Amino acid sequence: MEISISLPGMRRLLIVISLYFALHLGLNAQGRQLTGMPQGSPATRGAGAALDSEAAATPPGDRIKHIIKNWHLADQGTRADSVPVDTLSAGFQIFNPAYRAAIANVQLGNIGAAWMPAMVSEMSLSRPFVFVENLRHVFTPPQEWLYFNTTTPYTNLYYQYSGPKARSEEVLSVLFTQNINRKWNFGFNYDLTSSIGKYNAQKVDNRHFRFFSSYSGEKYEVHGGYVYNKAAHLENGGIVDEDHVLNPDSYDWGKSNNIPVRFYSASNRVDNHRLYLNQALKIGTVAVGRREDQTTKMPLGTAIHSLHINRNRRVHQIDNLAKLINESEGDFFYKNIYADSTATCDSVYYTSVSNTIQLKFNEEANALLRFGLRAYITNEIESYKFPVEPLEYGNFSTPPKYRLGDDNSSTTLIGGQIFKNLGQNFRWNAGMRFFFQGYRSGDSELTGAAESRFRVMKDSAAVFANGGLYLTSPSFFETRYYSNHFKWSENFDKVQTMRLGGGIKIPTRRLELTTEARFINDYVFWNNEALPEQTSAFLTLIELKLFKHFTLANLHSKNTILYQISSHQTIVPLPEWSIYSSNYFENKLFKVLFFQLGFDLRYNSSWYAPAYMPATGQFYVQNQRKVGDYPFVDVFLNMQLKRARIFIKYDHVNMGTPSNQYFHTVSYPASPRALRFGVSWNFYD
């Protein structure tokens, strides 16, 4: 499968900018006609304050002050949680999705490729469709989607590039949003990651398109969006011999892309379509006292319906399989060939249709007990299509006669939550859900969280705690699967998990200490044969994370130290120590150009990082060799001039120092040193 880049990066960027201006000028003119006055607050379910008085007092015809709010829907779509608009230069140089999400991770070395976190707090509690588990940066769930409310049209353009041209890595992102009136917003965003990679057969083509809209009325609210995601990756299976990196002077490969890899024509592709619709109808009114002489009318409750349709198709493909087998002389990458020795083409389909109906009683209306209450019922219908053993097997010249099996399941659950989200000093919630029908019948969750803010001397601090008890059935493809190189059929028990977390934050001291512990029975993992296995061992996993930001005049040092314990490293391997330190000098030039000049340092202690299996897209445990104990150093310059942010970065500047052990996992070395730049540009009107 060939993944091509149709346009050079700069040409693509110029085309997008031109399209933006054509679209922007038309919509901007329309927006000024429709919105003579600034538009109102984003949502009435806690999405943030209304527009300030200066903007509200702007007379029609004058220039409208730009104010933008954004939020995502939390608590199963019942609460709009405000998110700060990202306009900061600090951390702008962190371009890799894996590092933005987890300071400890295992990856393949190419931006946009598969990766998994190596942190206790980032471990998944369930895996509905295992084949996208390690592509979470592409297939984001609806609870992470952002919605907007803005007084003027808003556009953000982002572009990132790393050369040389023959091995280029590019990221392009376009976001546009505009309010039609005070209550109604729409927009779209498009993200592209197109990377050839520094080693052979590493191409990545990730695409994300989302159209979204939201309406916040007095009685009715709706949030919705359609998403198309695509991840098309060449899978090289790693380099053939690690000695080519460990002892480069013994070989004459020259550039990294000359080093032999295991596959040149293997690929994975996942296509994903999602439709999400969340509707809320406010019921009744109640007078709530805000001050001694003032009352405000609030809805007594809210009825909410959510629809989520999620369709996935994954294909793993290897061309010229017979030739590869012959050339390997009996040492082929895959141990088994079950159906076809001419080519591999494994396809699976997964579709989920989920409906949730909720009734929420707002805490403002509960004058007696001062907490809110919600109850809900969810039904999810899932369908699967997957390969089964062929009617006729193939040989080295004749392909088999393939056939697809199918399965359908339905699951229904009920749940509830009590909560207190209002107020600054103390917030809490407690919830439960129970699956009473379908293949997940008997699964359950009990969760709770609390946060308290208080003052210590002249400092303000926040203490928080959260946790849960989970009884979870393994997903469909964890229990059964058939393909050209892997097959399994298992009858796993439910996984029992206890999660406990907490910490303290002191913003005035720029200090944060957090911890999370998980205690797990009957854990399902990918064993050293890259097959799913359930262990009877009782697992204890502990994470301690300390963050501290030091300052001295214009010098800054942001440091995160991660310490982890795994009771069974052969089942859940974790690096014992992980460090991320960002150190920089910041100042202004000519009173307008803000800049940060410094370096980033990343380090993991030595550990048996999980290996990667292209056929299933899974990371699995291995005990062949340890990686880590190698510092990665990047030098960067961040700049901000009015609405534009720019970074220039030299990745992996210390390549080969103190050793050549710069591997993320077995057979996957980190990318060589390279120069990279990126720009983010905001347009407000």
Question: Average pLDDT per run of 10 along the chain, which is 685 residues long?
Answer: 44 51 43 30 33 39 78 91 76 91 94 96 93 94 95 95 90 96 96 94 96 95 97 96 92 86 94 97 79 73 96 94 81 89 92 97 74 95 90 62 83 95 87 94 96 86 96 96 94 97 94 97 97 97 98 96 97 98 95 94 97 97 96 96 93 95 96 94 87
The SS3 of residue 325 is helix
For 153-178, the pLDDT digits (tens) are 999 999 999 988 888 999 999 999 99
The SS3 of residue 21 is helix
Reading the block at residue 61, the tokens are 């015809």
Identify the structural domains of the chain with CATH numbers, from first to last: 9-683 (2.40.170.20)
Q: Which residues pair with 354 in a beta bridge?
A: 308, 380
Reading the block at residue 685, the tokens are 């009107």
The SS3 of residue 390 is coil
CA–CA distance, 539 with 295 (Å, rounded to integer): 53
pLDDT number for residue 51: 32
Closest CA to 308 of 333, 286, 276: 276
Closest CA to 462 of 495, 497, 426, 496: 426
CA–CA distance, 294 with 36 (Å, rounded to integer): 31
For 354-364, the pLDDT digits (tens) are 999 999 998 87
pLDDT number for residue 2: 40
Tokens 């439910």 map to which residue?
494
pLDDT number for residue 42: 29
418 DSSP 8-state letter: E
Asked if 288 and 365 count as a contact pair (C-beta separation under 8 A), the reply is yes
Q: What is the DSSP string of 121-148?
A: GG--S--SSGGGGGGTTTS--GGG--EE
The predicted model scores a pTM of 0.88
